[in-house]
Amino acid sequence: MTQGRNQITAWLLLLPAVVLLAAFTHIPAVMTLVNSFYNTPRGARPAKFVGVSHYTDMLSDPVFLAALKNNAIYAIGTVPVAIGLAMLMALIVNSSIRGKGLLRMSFFLPTILPMIAVANIWLFFYTPGYGLIDRFLGLFGFAERNWLGDGSTALGSLMVLAVWKEAGFFMIFYLAALQQISPSLGEAAALEGAGRWYFFRRVTFPLLMPTTLFVLINAIINSFRLIDHVIVMTRGGPDNASTLLLYYIYQTAFRFWDTGYAAALTMVLLALLAALAFVQFGILDRRVHYK
């Protein structure tokens, strides 16, 4: 077989994937950049070049700034908690506790369900006065609250749901990592009389580090991507208290039909994701050497 024929075969095999990736990832990404410098065409008026004005507008756009701030709070608030719980869950279901199959199922089940379905159920839990949370807190004498309708609790309520939904998913990665830790390490530690907490701190936790980094990046990416619960539960409200970046893009593009500005917003999100990608590839590279 000649070298040239090999080249042709390889490219023919790649053709469908390359065409689709170009059409729905690369070209749109470039077009988003181009369009972010134009305003939105309206009716007969074509799009006009506006330079970086969308970007400068953003700096004084209170909704954009709120979305950015909310997304940061959302990520900083949910990611460490979800990861910590995931690690704990993995340790539990990897221990010799009875009924661990049932426990694993309990932890993992929320992950399997559509976010839209669980968001609808949680919408009920958060109902002021009537919902499960207010009923429960009422037992201890707490006043009823409009969890989703109050600017000070709306984002937090979404975050609780996100942690509940995602922790079980991250647990799976930790479980995989735990099962790769050699049992002889534990035996050696036991012989030396090391306590369990000591063993976790000095052996298990460091060995889980690569997994933690991997999960961390993916969790942050998810925090920018998953907005189904925002759509169902708060629609960004009240008064943009729970708007996340992708939700604001969705709103700008498909509620206000301002595609030019939406393109500029998308570029901000892409820049954030690119920065994360950069970190991830760096980390994954090191992880390969680590093994």
Partner 1 sequence: MTATALPQPIQSREHGFWHAVEVIGCYLLGALWILPLLYAVWMAFHPAEYEVRFDLTAPLTLANFVQAWNAAPFARYFLNTFVLITVILVSQFVICTLAAYAFARYDFRGKTLVFMLVLIQLMIMPEVLMVENYRTMVKLGLVDTVWAMGLPYMASAFGIFLLRQAFLTVPKELDDAARVEGAGPLGILLKVYVPLSRPIYVAYGLVSVSYHWNNLLWPLVITNSVSTRPLTVGLQVFASPDQGVQWSIISAAALMTSAPLLIGFLLFQRQFVQSFMRAGIK
Residue 70 or residue 266: which is nearer to partner 1 going by CB? 266
* Interacting span for partner 1 (CB under 8 A) from 45-53, 59-67, 236-244, 260-268: 260-268
**271 touches partner 1 by CB under 8 A:** no
DSSP single-letter state for residue 255: T
Strand partners, 38: 49
Least distance in angstroms from the C-beta of 59 to partner 1: 21
Residue 55 or residue 214: which is nearer to partner 1 going by CB? 214
Can you tell me which of 96, 139, 255, 290 binds partner 1, judged by CB under 8 A? 96
Are 147 and 153 within 8 A, CB to CB? yes
Cα(110)–Cα(93) distance, integer angstroms: 16
Residue with tokens 């460091």: 206
Dmax (CA) for the chain in angstroms is 81
Can you tell me which of 70, 71, 78, 94 binds partner 1, judged by CB under 8 A? 94
**205 touches partner 1 by CB under 8 A:** no
Residue with tokens 């999100």: 269
Please give the structure tokens belonging to residue 155: 């984002």
Q: How many CB atoms lie within 10 A of CB 79?
A: 22
Least distance in angstroms from the C-beta of 42 to partner 1: 15
**Within positions 5 to 64, which residues make up the interface with partner 1, using CB under 8 A?**
6-7, 9-11, 13-14, 16-21, 23-29, 31-32, 35
Are 83 and 215 within 8 A, CB to CB? yes
Cα(13)–Cα(10) distance, integer angstroms: 5
* Interacting span for partner 1 (CB under 8 A) from 43-51, 55-63, 71-79, 245-253: 245-253
Task: List Cβ neighbours of 253 (8 Å cut-off, separation of 6 or more).
Answer: 259, 262
Please give the structure tokens belonging to residue 3: 């070298």
Q: How many CB atoms lie within 10 A of CB 260?
A: 21
Are 94 and 179 within 8 A, CB to CB? yes
Least distance in angstroms from the C-beta of 175 to partner 1: 7
Can you tell me which of 105, 137, 209, 271 binds partner 1, judged by CB under 8 A? 105
**Within positions 153 to 172, which residues make up the interface with partner 1, using CB under 8 A?**
164, 167-169, 172
Task: List Cβ neighbours of 22 (8 Å cut-off, separation of 6 or more).
Answer: none
Residue 204 or residue 242: which is nearer to partner 1 going by CB? 204
Residue 20 or residue 52: which is nearer to partner 1 going by CB? 20
**126 touches partner 1 by CB under 8 A:** no
Least distance in angstroms from the C-beta of 11 to partner 1: 7
**Within positions 170 to 189, which residues make up the interface with partner 1, using CB under 8 A?**
172-173, 175-176, 178-179, 181, 183, 185-187, 189
Can you tell me which of 81, 84, 125, 238 binds partner 1, judged by CB under 8 A? 125
Q: Is the peptide bond before 238 cis (omega within 30 degrees of 0)?
A: yes
Can you tell me which of 42, 52, 69, 95 binds partner 1, judged by CB under 8 A? 95
Are 266 and 32 within 8 A, CB to CB? yes
Q: How many residues bind partner 1 (CB under 8 A)?
A: 108
Strand extents, DSSP E, the chain: none
**236 touches partner 1 by CB under 8 A:** no
* Interacting span for partner 1 (CB under 8 A) from 46-54, 74-82, 126-134, 151-159: 126-134
